Structures are given as C-alpha cells and as structure tokens.
Amino acid sequence: MSETKPMTAAGHRILGAAGELFYGRGITAVGVDLIAEHSGVTKRTLYNQFGSKDQLVVAYLEEREQRWQLLVRETIAAAASPIEAVLAPLEALRAWNQNNPRGCAFINALAELPDPTHPAHVVATQEKQWLIDLFRELAAAAGCSAPDTLATRLLVLHEGALVTQQLSLDTLSVSIELARGLVRAATSTESQTASA
C-alpha cells in the first residue's frame, strides 16, 4: 500500500524508537517529543515524515504486522507436516515472545484506541482477521472437516496465550499442547470433535 515509499534513514530511526516506546510504555502515554528525542531527530523531521502522531501509530502497527506475519510464514514453511503447520502461529509465539514481553501490540492498541473509525484501530482488527483466516486455511489444508470451528478455537488459544504471557505462568506451552490435541482430533478420520 504505502510501504512503496523508500523511507529515509531518519524515518527508520523514528519508526524504531516509536516501536519500542509505544509497545513498551503505551501509545497514549508516549508523546511525540519523547520519540523525537529517542530517535535523535527533530520533531519537525518526525512530522515531515509521518504527518501526525496518528499516522505514526498506524506505521508502527503496520511495521509490527509485517514482522509478525513474516515470522509466521517462515514457521509455516518450516513445518514438518500440514498438521504441524496449523500450529505454526502458536509455535511462532515462542520466539516472538522473547522480545515482546508486553503482550499483543494490537490488543493493547485496541485497549487504548476505542474509536472504531481510528485508522490504527482498523489496522489492529485487520491483523486479527488475518490470523483467523490463516488458521482456517491451514486447518482446511490439513484436512480438517470443520475448519471454521477449529480456527476459532485456535484463535482463542492464541490470544489467551498471548495475553496471559504478562503473568508469570508459562501458558504458551500449555496452549500449544492443548492446540495440538485439538488439531489431531479434528483431522483424524472424522466423527467426535468433543461434543457438539
């Protein structure tokens, strides 16, 4: 869409600083002055590059979206089987969470920007839509008879693991283990998927 713009060196630094600060301290709590200072750039340059704070927030979310989706795709490509591929988004969280201990940036953004018409809000919801669509496609490719149901279940597990990460418990392993059982059950022959 708009990533065709080459983006200057200063632009990258701004986006990098904005990423750390927005994710680490919250979007509303971080001012443009702080971002400019952390990226060693004048506020004027920031506004020349991004136009407004809102647009910078959108760029921040889009950048994270790209990195995350790339990681997921790589994990899918490295999966040993179609069944393991369904679990790839969950498995990708293992590495992702190492550097992102503050939960899901999109969920956090939704918490801070309730206005559904806000462009950043739209980006965040689209990301989740992408994920459930991906789960559905992977489930179908793995031969699941009810891809919709499995995809919704996996999305719940995914978000649950993400959001409970901030607590000390190791919920990711539990979620993956549980998800693996669900995928196995949903792709084996047919019939029982744990009640109806």
SS3 for 145? coil
Beta-carbon contacts of 12 under 8 Å, excluding residues fewer than 6 positions away, are: none
- d(CA 30, CA 18) in angstroms, rounded, equals 9
Kindly report the number of other CB atoms within 10 A of residue 29's CB atom: 11
Closest CA to 155 of 101, 93, 113: 93
Does position 10 interact with DNA (CB under 7 A)? The reply is yes
Beta-carbon contacts of 188 under 8 Å, excluding residues fewer than 6 positions away, are: none
> What one-letter code names the amino acid at 158?
H
Residue of 31, 101, 143, 181 that binds DNA (CB under 7 A): 31
Contact residues toward a second copy (CB under 8 A) are 24-26, 28-29, 102-103, 107-108, 110-114, 125, 128-129, 132, 149, 152-153, 155-164, 166-167, 169, 171, 174-175, 177-178, 180-182, 185, 194-195
Q: Tell me which of DNA, a second copy, none is bound by residue 64, counting a contact when its beta carbon lies within the kind-specific cut-off of 5 to 8 angstroms.
A: none
Residues 43 to 102 in contact with DNA, rule: CB under 7 A: 43-45, 47-49, 52-54
Is the CB of 20 or the CB of 137 nearer to DNA?
20
Q: Which residues bind DNA (CB under 7 A)?
A: 8-11, 30-34, 40-45, 47-49, 52-54
